[in-house]
Chains A and B, each alone.
Chain A
Amino acid sequence: MFHDRMTVGIEKIRARIKGSVKDFTEEHRPPPKKVRTAKEIFGGAETPTDKEGNQIMIRVRNLSKIYGKHPEEALRLLEGGLSKEEVQERTPNNVGLYDVSFDVMRGEIFVLMGLSGSGKSTLERCMNRLVEPTSGQVLIDGLDFTALGEEDLRIARREKMSMVFQNFGLLPHRDVKNNVAYGLEMQGVPESERLEKSREAIELVGLSGYEDSMPSDLSGGMKQRVGLARALATDPDILFMDEAFSALDPLIRSDMQDELIRIQSKLGKTVVFVTHDLDEALKMGDRIALMKDGRIVQVGRAEEILQDPADEYVDRFVREVDRTKILTAGLFMRKPRGVLYVTQGPRTALKLMDSSDRNDMLVINRDNRLLGMVESDDVLRAVQSGDKDLSKVVIKEIPAVGPDTPMKEVIQIMVTTDFPIPVVDGDGVFLGVVSPSVAADTMGPGGEE
């Protein structure tokens, strides 16, 4: 009886399918579904440039985020000049961001930095619309990102940008290679191809050999490497990093910072990096935006913010920094009062040293490369013995630093020698000197060690 019922049923179903499939394929064949790519979506818009002709990757204009229902009243009060606290007292709303504007250039690491609650994570999430902004615009590659429909937004997120999360955000049920391939899977890349790309990304972050491990078997640093690989696997233009290294212990964090800088200089991604750690911001950021109470207080390069804080808040913030670690030799070097060309000969050298009242001088050749230093005693002896070649008395083993060397290290060298420290670039070209008197200034308030 069971068998009869099955055969009758199956016959019926088979007939149905035969008939309907024919009808369906012939009459109702849907037009091939047009899936737009990020290229098509962003292709129409022209990328804006700044005064120097740099391409602006992300342009944020008057962005505000008010939490709660009916944000209009709160926005109006903010426009009237009330502070965040006053608005939150008068309305049931919470102010996340108010009137934030800035540009992020293509290929730079842009750091959003501030204390917790300053709105930096909200701002970043508004930029990829994990949080919908209340008002204002985000232009990505010139396209109004805030106006994209759901479908286009999804495509843009799949292909144009990706994100690295504070707590890594690894899917616990997937192994490393499939975690990394997640974004590619969303794009509909066939399995063999996405595993291939996944392997490349894993190699890029230095995790080869762990493809089949589960996230629970990895250490924090390794987990975040997986997070980074996942973000890079789709080859996006923009990388959003939300306190990506904050959960790591200091040594690992420093490694990861170096790793990101290395990868960024190799791939030239635009990175928006959120952190509450000023040291990290100064190390990573090509430019830094300091945030407070949902607003940007100051945007600029690390040195600009350190040397010239926009207001008391920034000043208080940066005073905490160990300035000698951030400030580099290049920032403090001066042109020396005199240098010798090796072709000038001992007699000229002696005259110059005498007139500038110095016992030692740096010697460079015609290509501006630093050769070393001469001391007046040696030069005098050369003159007396009638030697015409200055290079014979040049002391070659003198300490020199690069323009990127932190002042901290320069000062350490300085205490072992009495001379100004020469600064040379990677090719040995002489740039200037850091003298002890200048170095003393860098210590600044609270910097005495």
Chain B
Amino acid sequence: MSSPVGVFADKLVDFIEYYFGWLLTLFKEILDLALELLGYVLNYPGPALFILVLIGVSVLITKRIVLPLLIGAAFCIIWWMGYWESSMVTLNMVLVATAVAVIIAVPLGIWAANSENANPVIKALMDFMQTMPAFVYLIPAVIFFGLGAVPGVIATVIFAMPPVVRLTNLGIRQVPPEMNEVADAFGSTKWQKLTKVQLPIAMPSIMAGINQCIMLSLSMVVIAAMIGGGGLGGDIVYALSRIDIAMGFEAGLAIVLIAVTLDRLTQSFKGEA
């Protein structure tokens, strides 16, 4: 049926599962723990307290008053529509996926920026990850990690990671040559140069990448729901199967509100840097 390309992909998945199954299990456990931990934190306060804390944190981040109140209002709407629990599941997945993506992507971006050999390879890999339809990741993700939130997070990470890598790479490459000379002329080690000169100067660019990463993660929640990710995506898949316009629209609106909130919050980080 399949051409050698498909057969190869199939064999590769078998190979990985056979030899690296233990590693995948470890990875799954770590992600499970992270999801559980963050889920605990998100659900502990309950909606009312959560919204108050969110407004407070937003004031600290944005140093403004109106925007945090609007954010609070957005979450009140979600609560009032009855999608609070689904929203917390979705928020949980998005935040974990973003965190994992950033942890992997920033070092990759730094590597790409500092190595002319690694750069084209990483670039090609990023192109591949970004353009390969997201559904395709779901198949091996299910095989490796079973059904549930974890494979959803993995697929999301793969899909949402490339902008962070690209923009970290770009940000560091765009550090003015004089700044690198400053670091060298004052006897900085490579690590000092990276952490005290390059990363801070590249920070606006990196934050733009993280912002993109969060937006892409949110766009993946519906797809992740097809393998049991749950949350608002799950509600939409359910609404789709029932042709339930009301439910579909409400869950969709909740996603939009979460998206706008996260976007505004990360953008104010960007402006500050």
Contact = CB atoms under 8 A, between A and B. Distances in A.
Interface of A: 2, 5, 128, 130, 153-159, 162-163, 165-167, 169, 171-173, 182-183, 185-187, 230, 234, 240
B192 A169 contact: no
A262 to B, nearest CB: 24
B203 A169 contact: no
Interface string B197-214: 100110100000000000
A185 B196 contact: yes
B18 interface: no
A170 to B, nearest CB: 8
Interface stretch (B33-41, B56-64, B161-169, B255-263): B33-41
Nearest to B179: A169
A405 B182 CA distance: 39
Contacts of A169: 178-179, 181-182
Nearest to A230: B186
A209 B23 CA distance: 57
A171 B179 contact: yes
A171 B182 contact: yes
Given A169-B179, A185-B196, A157 B185 contact: yes
Contacts of B117: none
Contact of A130 (B181, B189, B196, B197): B181
A256 B258 CA distance: 54
B273 interface: yes
A172 B188 CA distance: 17
Nearest to A234: B186
Contact of B185 (A130, A155, A171, A172): A130
Interface string B171-199: 00000101101101111110010001100
Residue with the greatest number of chain B CB neighbours at <10 A, chosen from A156, A165, A169: A169
Contacts of A240: 185
- Which 3 pairs across A and B sit closest by C-beta, in order of nearness? A158-B187, A157-B187, A163-B185
Contacts of B200: 171, 173
Interface of B: 33, 36-37, 40, 176, 178-179, 181-182, 184-189, 192, 196-197, 200-201, 203, 273
B184 A157 contact: yes
A169 B201 CA distance: 12
A185 B182 CA distance: 13
Contacts of B201: 171-173
Given A171-B197, A173-B273, A186-B192, A128 B37 contact: no
Contacts of A183: 186-187
Contact of B186 (A2, A5, A153, A162): A162
B185 A162 contact: yes
Nearest to A128: B185
A431 B197 CA distance: 56
A156 B186 CA distance: 9
Given A128-B185, A171-B196, 20 more contacts: A5-B33, A5-B36, A130-B185, A154-B187, A155-B187, A157-B185, A157-B187, A158-B186, A159-B187, A162-B186, A163-B186, A169-B181, A171-B182, A171-B201, A172-B201, A173-B200, A173-B203, A182-B182, A186-B187, A186-B188
Nearest to B200: A173
A2 B187 contact: no
Contact of A165 (B181, B189, B192, B196): B181
Contacts of B37: 2
A186 B40 contact: no
26 contacts: A2-B37, A5-B33, A5-B36, A130-B184, A130-B185, A153-B187, A154-B187, A155-B187, A157-B184, A157-B187, A159-B187, A162-B185, A163-B181, A163-B185, A163-B186, A165-B181, A167-B176, A169-B178, A169-B182, A171-B179, A171-B182, A171-B200, A172-B201, A182-B182, A186-B188, A187-B187
Contacts of A165: 178, 181-182
A378 to B, nearest CB: 66
Nearest to A9: B33
Given A5-B33, A171-B201, A173-B203, A182 B178 contact: no
Contacts of B185: 128, 130, 157, 162-163, 240
A323 to B, nearest CB: 35
Contact of A2 (B36, B181, B184, B188): B36
A230 B185 CA distance: 12
B178 A2 contact: no
A154 B185 CA distance: 8
A2 B273 CA distance: 37
A173 B200 CA distance: 7
B186 A182 contact: yes
Nearest to A174: B200
